[in-house]
Structure formats: structure tokens, C-alpha cells
Amino acid sequence: MASWLDSEAPTKFDDLAVPDDVRQTLVSTSTSTDTPHLLITGPAGVGKTTCWRLFARQLLGPGWQSTTHVLQARDLLKKRGAMASFEEFLRPSGQNSDTLAGRTSLDAFDRGISLPSPGEDAPAGSEREITTGKVSISRLIVIEDADFLGHIRQAYLRRMMETIGSASRFVLVARAPSRIIDALRSRSQMVRIPSTKRETVVSTLSSIAKRNGSEPPKEVLEDIAYISEGNLKKAIFTLELLVIRDLATDRTSVHKMVQASTLQAGRHLVELALRGKVVEWKWENKSGRNRKSLSGAMAEVDNLLNKQGLDSTDLISQIHGVIVGRRLSVPDSLREKLLIALSECDVELQRSTYPRIHFEKFLHRVAAAGRHQGIAFG
């Protein structure tokens, strides 16, 4: 059974839970005879991926998936030879003269090659018209989390943008547009998607629930919207989880779920750091062999970033909630030091593609503050 995030994904521009100006920009650029490169920006869970998928479907026609190429830039950080992988994506044959963006699909000349499924309509209501005698755009190259590319790979991408043919376009997706170099920003039309308004989240959740045979009380939907903080993806996932567990009629279930989620993990990592347990190692028996594994506050950071899928911005928000919350019983002077350290960590993260380094630096500062207060040892 498909997740609601998949089964309820919008298929029309009119269905998008975004401001009207964003919707109009997507329609106009995807139906234009001179479509620009796009830079789609916005916080987590507001529909950036959904937007570019509808843009691709409208721009390329029914066969859009076969000529849309997607690279997850964040994955490059986990690989050896990241630059080589990046070049291989953009130059599949390994030859300088053959680039992905320079290839032309047959769909550029005849959209009739790919036919829509029965009952499928274009996102804008009608298919894009092809101008006679002009090569139509038939290939889209999408870079997800482009703000994690780094300046060297972005400069490489800029050079390729300057030399591509008329049949290809780039779509860059980023949460932090400030990390995108000026040369790329100036060559793209920026589409800014703000956090989803609370009333929009509530109405969207209500519609999705009804289509799936559930009618949670409005108070439950409002609670979900509140804890989601403008993240529509998180809100839909939370509601589906409550419905599956038959808990969508009880407001206390929402709060219990929050308490059992990343808030606890965030509090735990701050408390570990205050006690000086930033990086620790322990022996574990795995498959009959003793192996050394990371524990302490940095293990919690890795768990939240890698296993629970939090973005560095989300983790900053979680830690901030812990520091200013009532459950962390520390003197105000110490709380102030932690907030200053966290704010500096947040600033450093905006300029970096390696969040783990800055979180470790922050946690060591927390440990130092804990030692000064007589909490941490070692």
C-alpha cells in the first residue's frame, strides 16, 4: 500500500499547497516557448520536489520520466571520488564532447512518441505546444540539494550551463540559496516556496483524510499543523501514522508521538554533551564479532541526521527547543552560553556542506560550558 505522500501527491498545478505567485510562475515557465533554468528554494517539506516533478511533466510531456535525470547532491558527500561521480553523471560517456545536457531526445521533434495514460491530463490542463521548426526542450537535469554541491562542483556546472544546447534545462533544488554561487543564481529563475501556512496545512490534511475514509477532529489537525511548523510533508506523514494506529481522534496521541520523537533524542544529546560525553566508543557484539561503535552525543547526532533523516536546520530547531524548554534544568547563565554557541553553529552551517563538523564543535563547546558549571567531567 502506497504512502499518502505518494498516493496523494498533486497531479495538477492547481492542487499545489503553495502561494498563487509560485503556482503561476511554475505554469508560465513550463508552458513558455523560452523556458529558463529554475532554482527552486524553500524550507523542508514545502513541496519543492512535487513542484519540479509537475514542472517536468508539463515541460516534457507524458514521457517526462525517461528524459529527466536526477542527482542527489547530498549523496556525493558520502562517497569517495565525489567529483568523479559528479562528472560521470553530467558526462555519461566520459568524453568531453558528449554531455548529458547536450543530448537531444526524439521527443524534441515528436511528442506523439510518448502518450499519456488513460485519464491523465497535463498539470496545466493541456499539453505544451511544440513550435514548428524549433527544437523543443526534451531533457531535464535536476540537482536535488544543490546547496550541498560545494563551490568547485557548482563552478563546473556553471561552465556546462553555458555550453548546453537548446533542448535541455537544469532545475536546481535547494533549501539555502545563499550557498548557490552567484553565477548559477544569475542564470536561473528563482522560485521561492515559503513555509506552508497553518490554515493551508489543516485544510490539506482534512481533504486527504476524507479521501482516505477518515475524519479526524479539527483540533487534532490543528495540533498536527502546529507541531509540523510549516512542514506539510511532516504533517501528512504524522496524520497517516495516527490513522494507521487508529489514534487520529485523540489529541493526546499527537502529543505522545511528539514526546516519543526527535525531541527526546535532542534533549538526550544535549544532556550527554553537558556531562562531557561528546565522543565515546563502546564494544558491541555484531554477528559474533566484537566491534567498536560510536556512542555519546555525536552518536545521537548521526542517528538524527542519517537514520531519522533530519536536516541540519531541523536539528538546530530541535536543539533550540531543548535549550529554551523547561525540561532542561540549568542556570540561566549556562542556558545563555548554550544559545550563543548554537547561534554560532547555525551561522557556520549556512556556509558549509559538512554539518557534522560544526555540530561536533558545538557539542564540545557545550561540554566546556558544562565543565565550567561543574556538570561535565573529563
The structural domain count of the chain equals 3
Do 156 and 240 fall within a single domain? no
Q: Which of 39, 43, 49 is nearest to 6 (CA)?
A: 49
DSSP state of 149: S
C-alpha cell at 265: 533524542
pLDDT of residue 105: 58
Residue 378: inside a domain: no
Do 181 and 203 fall within a single domain? no
pLDDT of residue 166: 77
Question: What range defines the domain where residue 249 resides?
Answer: 198-259
Do 269 and 252 fall within a single domain? no
pLDDT in tens, 254-309: 777 665 555 677 888 999 999 999 999 888 877 778 888 888 999 989 888 776 66
The CATH number of residue 246's host domain is 1.10.8
What one-letter code names the amino acid at 29? T
- Residue ranges of the chain whose pLDDT lies below 50: 108-109
pLDDT of residue 108: 47
Do 208 and 333 fall within a single domain? no
Q: Where are the alpha helices (DSSP H) in the chain?
A: 4-7, 20-31, 48-60, 73-76, 82-90, 151-163, 182-185, 198-211, 218-228, 232-244, 251-259, 262-274, 297-302, 312-324, 332-350, 355-373
The helix/strand/coil state of 177 is: helix
Last residue of a domain, one of 192, 223, 238: 192
Residue 204: inside a domain: yes
- Exposed e or buried b per residue across 166-176, where buried means at least 16 C-beta atoms within 10 angstroms of its C-beta: ebbbbbbbbbb
- pTM for this entry: 0.75
Last residue of a domain, one of 137, 160, 192: 192
Do 44 and 179 fall within a single domain? yes
pLDDT in tens, 2-53: 789 999 999 999 999 999 999 999 999 999 988 999 999 998 889 999 999 9
